[in-house]
């Protein structure tokens, strides 16, 4: 693989968006969960909900900041590395991004200030409203950006004039064929990521001997949300796949590792797809199951990759190995989530907290960041599965790349990777540290020093 500007820019884009997405995935759902904690406190007056709120609002503030700074990087990427993207589809991507900034970013950014620091300065209803608006804002962000991404996957409602895309039907653009599936699947993914994070941090505190009412409440909340959402996610994922089969059959062929169009296609549990020989090695399969899943019929005909090779040998399907395996990682983690959340829910129900086997919190700790891996794997399936197109059938990735010298892109790529690596580690470290600190009952170094200032200026110690 030669390191030209295209490859480097793609790597850089992938690094940036992967780093960005892991934080919104947490905040989108965590915002709503914080609102839930707050409303429970108001309804019951039970301090444990307020303790839960205070702990997770720190997690939220930190994740949000990471999301914001990496998001700013994202918005510059289009211009610095993919100028061809905006030149070709700017008439559609532009308004969608502009609506995201106007209806979501300002809302969340301004009310975040009031939510984090305003509790003693505004009446309680306004603080609750601010919390609601922040959660609503993050969800709106997800909505607009997913509209754009779905449109790039399944573009409709436009026409080409002088080689430039012009919008003809905004309703069709916003509600494009894959948007509802992608939005639902992403919001559920966010719910799962946040609930496993909460369950995992609560499990850690539990194992460290911190078994207060708030830890019990958050562990239960995390496990319950996860147990509830994962079946929905699997169901939504199945529907998503059927939709993709209709609009992007080549992507599904790659996900299934199916080379020839035929009936009775097996479900491959393991295989090494090999594009040079156009076949799989070491297959481990369940006969006809892929046909049953995709066509609800063992004899159902499933499209194969060889249909997507042009006469002259140009390959018009995505890289098979990467798509095949990303998809399996996602589904595998989904199955693991199902097992862990249900077993944990069952144990909490049968054993209760007082007789809980340590294996439950241990499993939850292992799964703390599982949502990240599933979400990233899912996005790799989706995005790599769209190649060689950037906008399906309209714009190729190679046509959009900017004319920046490879060394430049290489040096910025190294810079981003270094920063992202360090920050991701710091983030995980600090979350664990916050849990340990809460478990040991010690005040934050900062809470001690800042408490007087905070009281004076009305800043919540929760920051």
Partner 1 sequence: MDFFGDPTVWLPFTFAALMGVAILVYVVLDGFDLGIGVLFPFVGDDEKDQMISVIGPFWDANETWLVLAIGLLLVAFPTAHGYILTALYLPVAIMLAGLILRGVAFELRAKAPKGQKEQWNRSFYVGSLLTSLSQGFMLGMYIVGLDYTLNHVAFACLTAVCLTAGYAFIGATWLIYKTEHDLQRRAVRFAKFGLLGVIVGFAANSLASPLVSPRIFAKWFTMPEIFYLAPLPILSGALVVLIGITLRQMPHPADRLSWLPFAAASSLFCLAFAGLAYSFYPYVVPDKISIYEAASAPESLFIILLGAMVVMPAIAAYTVLSYVVFRGKARALTYD
**CB of residue 323 vs ligand HDD: minimum separation in angstroms?**
9
What does residue 167 show for φ and ψ, rounded to 5 degrees?
Answer: -75, 140
> Which residues touch 240 (CB under 8 Å, ≥6 apart)?
178, 181, 182, 185
H/E element, 291: helix 289-295
Residues between 143 and 172 with contacts to ligand HEM, criterion CB under 6 A: 145-146, 148-149
Residues between 247 and 266 with contacts to ligand HDD, criterion CB under 6 A: 248, 251
Contact of 259 with 303, CB cutoff 8 Å: no
Choosing from 98, 109, 309, 457, the residue that interacts with ligand HEM (CB under 6 A) is 109
CB of 131 or CB of 382, closer to ligand HDD: 382
Residue 31 in the binding site for ligand HDD (CB under 6 A): no
CB of 8 or CB of 52, closer to ligand HEM: 8
Contact of 202 with 215, CB cutoff 8 Å: yes
**Which partner, ligand HEM, ligand HDD, partner 1, none, binds residue 202 by CB below 5 to 8 Å per kind?**
none
**CB of residue 91 vs ligand HDD: minimum separation in angstroms?**
24
**CB of residue 296 vs ligand HEM: minimum separation in angstroms?**
30
Residue 20 in the binding site for ligand HDD (CB under 6 A): no
| CA atoms of 302 and 316, how far apart (whole Å) | 17
Q: What is the DSSP string of 67-99?
A: HHHHHHHHHHHHHHH-HHHHHHHHHHHHHHHHH
What does residue 268 show for φ and ψ, rounded to 5 degrees?
Answer: -90, 120
Part in contact with ligand HDD (CB under 6 A); list of ranges 79-87, 231-239, 306-314, 430-438: 231-239
Residue 101: both structure tokens together? 């900034």
- Looking only at the bridges linking them, the beta strands covering 395-396 and 389-391 are antiparallel
**Which partner, ligand HEM, ligand HDD, partner 1, none, binds residue 222 by CB below 5 to 8 Å per kind?**
none
Residue 399: both structure tokens together? 């046509």
Part in contact with ligand HEM (CB under 6 A); list of ranges 74-82, 159-167, 211-219, 358-366: 74-82
Count the site residues for ligand HDD by CB under 6 A: 27
Part in contact with ligand HDD (CB under 6 A); list of ranges 74-82, 127-135, 197-205, 327-335: 327-335
> Which residues touch 424 (CB under 8 Å, ≥6 apart)?
19, 22
Residue 141 in the binding site for ligand HDD (CB under 6 A): no
Q: How many CB atoms lie within 10 A of CB 295?
A: 16
**CB of residue 112 vs partner 1: minimum separation in angstroms?**
6
**CB of residue 345 vs ligand HDD: minimum separation in angstroms?**
17
Residue 222 in the binding site for ligand HDD (CB under 6 A): no
**Which partner, ligand HDD, ligand HEM, partner 1, none, binds residue 381 by CB below 5 to 8 Å per kind?**
ligand HDD
∠ CA 403-408-409, nearest 5°, is 75
Taking the CA atoms of residue 444, residue 448, residue 452 and residue 454 in that order, the dihedral angle to the nearest 10 degrees is -10
409-443: b or e for each residue (b if 16 or more CB lie within 10 Å)? Answer: beebbeebeeebeeebeebeeebeebbebbbeeee
Binding mask 419-438 for partner 1 (x = CB under 8 A): x---x--x--xx--xx----
Residue 424 in the binding site for ligand HEM (CB under 6 A): no
DSSP state for residue 302 in the 8-state scheme: B
Residues between 375 and 414 with contacts to ligand HEM, criterion CB under 6 A: 376, 379-380, 383-384, 387, 390, 397
| CA atoms of 404 and 427, how far apart (whole Å) | 32
> Which residues touch 172 (CB under 8 Å, ≥6 apart)?
156, 157
CB of 140 or CB of 227, closer to ligand HEM: 140
CB of 97 or CB of 345, closer to partner 1: 97
Residue 75 in the binding site for ligand HEM (CB under 6 A): yes
Choosing from 61, 74, 232, 242, the residue that interacts with ligand HEM (CB under 6 A) is 74
Question: Which of 27, 31, 122, 99 is closest to 67 using CA atoms?
Answer: 27
Count the site residues for ligand HEM by CB under 6 A: 39
H/E element, 194: helix 179-207
**CB of residue 294 vs ligand HDD: minimum separation in angstroms?**
10
**CB of residue 17 vs partner 1: minimum separation in angstroms?**
14
| CA atoms of 240 and 245, how far apart (whole Å) | 9
Residue ranges that bind ligand HDD, judged by CB under 6 A? 182, 185-186, 189, 192-193, 233-234, 237-238, 240-241, 244, 248, 251, 330-331, 333-334, 337, 371, 374-375, 378-379, 381-382
């Amino acid at each position: 693989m030669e390191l030209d500007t295209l490859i480097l820019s793609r790597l850089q884009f992938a690094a940036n968006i992967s780093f960005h997405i892991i934080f919104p995935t947490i905040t989108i759902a965590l915002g709503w969960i914080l609102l839930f904690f707050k409303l429970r406190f108001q309804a019951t007056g039970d301090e444990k909900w307020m303790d839960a709120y205070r702990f997770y609002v720190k997690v939220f503030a930190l994740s949000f900041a990471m999301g914001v700074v990496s998001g700013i990087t994202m918005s510059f990427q289009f211009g610095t590395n993919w100028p061809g993207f905006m030149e070709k589809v700017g008439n559609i991507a532009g308004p969608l991004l502009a609506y995201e900034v106007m209806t979501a970013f300002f809302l969340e950014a301004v009310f975040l200030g009031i939510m984090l620091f305003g509790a003693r300065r505004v009446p309680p209803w306004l603080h609750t409203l601010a919390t609601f608006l922040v959660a609503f804002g993050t969800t709106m962000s997800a909505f607009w950006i997913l509209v754009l991404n779905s449109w790039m996957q399944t573009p409709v409602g436009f026409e080409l004039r002088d080689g430039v895309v012009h919008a003809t039907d905004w309703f069709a653009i916003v509600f494009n064929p894959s948007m509802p599936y992608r939005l639902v699947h992403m919001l559920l993914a966010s719910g799962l990521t946040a609930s496993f994070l909460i369950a995992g941090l609560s499990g850690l505190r539990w194992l460290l001997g911190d078994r207060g009412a708030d830890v019990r409440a958050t562990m239960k909340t995390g496990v319950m949300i996860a147990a509830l959402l994962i079946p929905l996610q699997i169901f939504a994922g199945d529907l998503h796949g059927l939709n993709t089969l209709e609009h992007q059959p080549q992507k599904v062929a790659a996900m299934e590792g199916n080379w020839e169009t035929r009936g009775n296609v097996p479900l491959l549990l393991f295989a090494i797809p090999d594009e040079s020989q156009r076949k799989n090695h070491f297959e481990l399969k369940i006969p006809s199951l892929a046909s049953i899943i995709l066509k609800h019929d063992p004899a159902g005909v499933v499209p194969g990759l060889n249909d997507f090779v042009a006469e002259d040998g140009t390959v018009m399907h995505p890289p098979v190995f990467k798509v095949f395996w990303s998809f399996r990682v996602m589904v595998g983690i989904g199955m693991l989530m199902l097992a862990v959340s249900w077993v944990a829910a069952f144990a909490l129900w049968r054993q209760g907290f007082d007789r809980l086997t340590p294996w439950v919190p241990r499993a939850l700790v292992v799964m703390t960041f599982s949502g990240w891996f599933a979400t990233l794997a899912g996005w790799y399936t989706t995005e790599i599965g769209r190649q060689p197109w950037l906008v399906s059938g309209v714009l190729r990735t190679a046509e959009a790349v900017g004319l920046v010298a490879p060394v430049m892109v290489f040096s910025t790529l190294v810079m981003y990777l270094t920063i992202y690596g360090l920050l991701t580690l710091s983030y995980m470290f600090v979350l664990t540290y916050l849990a340990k600190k809460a478990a040991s009952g010690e005040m934050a170094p900062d809470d001690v020093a800042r408490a007087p200032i905070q009281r004076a200026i009305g800043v919540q110690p929760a920051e």
